[in-house]
Amino acid sequence: MRIFGAVFGTVLAGALTLAGAAGAGPVSSPDAREQLFGQEMILHPADLSMFSDKLRAHYKKVTSGMAARTFLAQAKLSGIGYYGAIAVPLTSEPSLETLTIGGNAHSPGAAAAVVTGQCEKAAGEKCQVVAYLLPAGYAKRGLTLSMAATAAFGKSFSDNVVPRYLAYSPATAAFAVVKGKGADRVAIDTCNKDTGGRRDCVIAIADE
Per-residue pLDDT tens over the stretch 149-163 = 999 999 999 999 999
The predicted pLDDT at position 91 comes to: 86
The neighbouring-strand residues paired with 41 are: 135
Largest CA distance in the chain: 59
Residue 188 predicted with pLDDT over 50: yes
The predicted pLDDT at position 31 comes to: 98
Residue 14 predicted with pLDDT over 90: no
Residue 17 predicted with pLDDT over 90: no
pTM: 0.87
Average pLDDT over residues 104-118: 95
Instruction: Write b or e for each residue in 176-203: b if 16 or more Cβ atoms lie within 10 A of its Cβ, otherwise e.
Output: bbbbeeebbebbbebbbebbbebebbbb
Between the alpha carbon of residue 52 and those of residues 27, 56, 91, 128, 147, the distances in Å are: 44, 6, 8, 13, 34
Per-residue pLDDT tens over the stretch 29-40 = 999 999 999 999
Domain boundaries, the chain: 29-35+141-207, 41-135
Mean pLDDT (the chain) is 88
Q: How confident is the model at residue 23 (pLDDT cuts 50, 70, 90)?
A: low
Per-residue pLDDT tens over the stretch 41-59 = 999 999 999 999 999 999 9
Burial level of 86, CB count in 10 A (0-12/13-18/19+)?
A: buried
The predicted pLDDT at position 3 comes to: 54
Between the alpha carbon of residue 200 and those of residues 47, 80, 170, 182, the distances in Å are: 30, 22, 7, 19
